[in-house]
C-alpha cells in the first residue's frame, strides 16, 4: 500500500503527538533546556563538556575510496522530497522551543501513574482475550 507524502506526514504527526515528551537532541547544548528536562523528570545528570568527534576506521575510508557512493538523480529527488517532509515534521514539533523558554511542567508522580503503558502486560491481556474468543467460537 502506497501512501502520499501528506498522508505519511499526518500519520507521523499523529503518532508523535501521542508521546508525553519528545527529547530534542539539538537542544541538549542549551543549559536551560537541560534544566527544564531535569525538572520535568525529577532527575539530574551531568553533561560532559568535552564532546567526542566522529571517528571513521581506516577500513571505512578505504572502502569508500574503492567503492564511492553513486546516487542516481531519481533517488536524489526522492530523498529530497522525503527530507522536506521530515523537516516539516521536525519544525512542527520543535518550533515552540525557539524562544528559549522551556515551560515544561514540573515533575508530578501522578502523571506517570495515569499514563503508564506496560507492553508486556498489554500483550498478555490481548493474548488472553484472543484465547477467550477462540474458546467461545469452539463452543
User: Looking at the 3D structure of the chain, how many domains does it have?
Assistant: 1
Does 93 map to a domain? yes
Does 130 map to a domain? yes
Residue 83's pLDDT band, with cuts at 50, 70 and 90, is very high
Domain of residue 74 covers 21-47+56-138
Task: Provide the pLDDT for residue 8.
Answer: 92
Residue 59's pLDDT band, with cuts at 50, 70 and 90, is confident
Does 62 map to a domain? yes
Cell numbers at 83, concatenated: 527530507
Task: Provide the pLDDT for residue 66.
Answer: 93
Task: Provide the pLDDT for residue 136.
Answer: 77
pTM of the model: 0.60
Does 12 map to a domain? no
Does 37 map to a domain? yes
Q: CA 6 to CA 21: how far, in whole Å?
A: 24
Does 8 map to a domain? no
Amino acid at each position: 500500500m502506497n501512501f502520499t507524502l501528506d498522508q505519511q506526514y499526518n500519520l507521523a504527526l499523529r503518532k508523535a503527538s501521542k508521546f508525553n515528551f519528545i527529547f530534542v537532541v539539538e537542544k541538549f547544548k542549551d543549559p536551560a533546556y537541560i534544566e527544564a528536562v531535569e525538572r520535568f523528570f525529577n532527575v539530574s545528570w551531568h553533561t560532559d563538556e568535552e564532546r567526542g568527534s566522529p571517528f571513521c576506521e581506516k577500513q571505512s575510508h578505504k572502502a569508500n575510496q574503492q567503492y564511492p557512493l553513486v546516487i542516481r538523480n531519481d533517488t536524489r529527488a526522492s530523498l529530497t522530497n522525503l527530507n522536506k517532509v521530515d523537516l516539516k515534521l521536525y519544525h512542527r514539533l520543535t518550533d515552540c522551543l525557539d524562544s528559549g523558554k522551556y515551560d515544561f511542567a514540573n515533575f508530578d508522580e501522578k502523571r506517570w501513574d495515569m499514563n503508564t503503558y506496560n507492553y508486556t502486560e498489554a500483550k498478555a491481556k490481548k493474548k488472553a482475550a484472543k484465547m477467550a474468543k477462540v474458546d467461545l467460537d469452539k463452543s
